[in-house]
Amino acid sequence: MKQRAAFLYACLATLVAWAALAQVPALVVQEAWTRQAPGSDVAAVYLTLRNPSTRPIVIVGVESSVASHAMIHETKTESGQSRMRPHEQLVVPPGKTVKLEPGGLHVMLHGLTQPVAVGQSVPLVLLLDGGGKVQVAAIVRPLNAQ
């Protein structure tokens, strides 16, 4: 009986150590979507990023298996002209939510290798500072989606 308890404790200790080492990214991704882009090989992806942890989460890159290039962009209107500029990285502060939405931040996909149809999803991988990765599936909405 005593041996059995010792064995269980050993297992438990291993599990706790494993959980601490695993470093599961805390980033929560919600409402990922993109607009159907007929005849175009670029698309903007919008999503909501939530950081429930107590440390900042930094996105340092984006990849997509259906695009040759993906990056974080921000649309800004300067002297009446709408311009997009790339962001090297995007910080989601602890306890905060960052929204990538039309007219502001978005993930820009260049060189789409296949057409995206409404109802399908576009796969993305968010690359985090420290080596974590978060898989995202962005639902394709009709052209007039807001």
Q: Write out the residues near Cu ion by the rule CB under 5 A.
A: 73, 84, 108
Q: Cα–Cα–Cα angle for 56, 62, 65, nearest 5°?
A: 145
- Residue showing the smallest CB distance to Cu ion in the complex: 73
- Cβ 86 to Cu ion, closest distance in Å? 8
- Cβ 100 to Cu ion, closest distance in Å? 10
Nearer to Cu ion, 3 or 81 (CB): 81
Nearer to Cu ion, 54 or 146 (CB): 146
Q: Could you tell me the two tokens for 14?
A: 């291993």
Residue with tokens 């939530």: 50
Question: How many residues does this entry show for the chain?
Answer: 146
3-class DSSP assignment, residue 127:
strand
- Cβ 129 to Cu ion, closest distance in Å? 22
SS (H, E, C) 28-89: EEEEEEEECCCCCCCEEEEEEEECCCCCCEEEEEEECCCEEEEEEEEEEEECCEEEEEEECC
- Cβ 110 to Cu ion, closest distance in Å? 9
Nearer to Cu ion, 10 or 84 (CB): 84
Nearer to Cu ion, 13 or 42 (CB): 42
